[in-house]
């Protein structure tokens, strides 16, 4: 596959990312024509300025990385990111809500963020390392019901987590694609073979900090 760059959201979400790190991310995104960059909300305006007059999307994360913020806080954070110019929003699901089978709460949590996003696409990070297969499927179904646009595997912040797994992406794709939603695979994607396997399983986006290595 020669167009892998069109799948990649070039990602930098480290706590200790410096201004130079971010500037390098934006430079690489332009050079390799990645689909987007994924950065923390504090840097959305910086990214928009750096990527002006390019097709690179600015993606940011909400309720990151735990997903346990109050719904009102997540919605406000999303509205701020949209006002700053974010092109897409990736929110973390309330994982405990799934575990506790508090499905109405989880659905309403996602729906509130989607309302705050307006026409901006919303991806729901399920944190698949912490869920069993039934919980992954249920989280996908709730994301559909809440009006999300994508489901996403992982934050990459789970200690000893594997991240994106082919079987999880396949399950997510089979659950949401009949309803028009797409799948973003993220977490632990460090080589071309892994990237291609995840795309074959149904991912239309790849979140990775190894984008340059993958397409090189």
Provide the annotated active-site residues: 90, 152, 184
What is the pLDDT, as a whole number, of residue 170?
A: 98
What is the pLDDT, as a whole number, of residue 1?
A: 75
The Cα–Cα gap between 186 and 62 comes to 15
Residues lower than pLDDT 50 in the chain: none
What is the pLDDT, as a whole number, of residue 2?
A: 79
Summarised one tens digit per residue, pLDDT across range 79-101 is 999 999 999 999 999 999 999 99
What is the pLDDT, as a whole number, of residue 6?
A: 98
Spatial CA neighbour of 150 closest among 99, 106, 206 = 206
Phi and psi based region of residue 171 (left: phi greater than 0; alpha: psi -120 to 50; beta: remaining) = alpha
CATH class of the domain comprising 4-215: alpha beta
Counting every residue written for the chain, the total comes to: 216
What is the pLDDT, as a whole number, of residue 174?
A: 98
What is the pLDDT, as a whole number, of residue 118?
A: 97
Residue 98 C-beta-side C-alpha neighbours within 13 Å? 26
């Amino acid at each position: 596959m020669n167009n892998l760059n069109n799948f990649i959201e070039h990602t930098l979400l480290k706590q200790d990312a410096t201004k130079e790190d971010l500037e390098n991310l934006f430079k690489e995104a332009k050079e390799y024509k990645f689909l987007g960059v994924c950065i923390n909300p504090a840097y959305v305006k910086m990214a928009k300025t750096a990527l002006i007059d390019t097709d690179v999307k600015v993606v940011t994360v909400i309720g990151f990385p735990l997903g346990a913020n109050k719904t009102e806080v997540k919605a406000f954070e999303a509205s701020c990111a949209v006002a700053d110019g974010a092109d897409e929003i990736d929110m973390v699901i309330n994982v405990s809500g799934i575990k506790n089978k508090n499905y109405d709460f989880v659905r309403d949590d996602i729906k509130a963020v989607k309302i705050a996003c307006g026409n901006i696409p919303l991806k729901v990070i399920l944190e698949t390392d912490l869920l069993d297969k039934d919980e992954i499927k249920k989280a996908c179904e709730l994301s559909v019901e809440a009006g999300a646009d994508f489901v996403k595997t992982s934050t990459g912040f789970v200690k000893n987590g594997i991240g994106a797994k082919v079987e999880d992406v396949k399950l997510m794709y089979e659950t949401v694609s009949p309803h028009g939603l797409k799948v973003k695979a993220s977490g632990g994607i460090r080589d071309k073979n892994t990237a291609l396997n995840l795309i074959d399983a149904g991912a239309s986006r790849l979140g990775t900090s190894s984008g340059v290595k993958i397409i090189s």
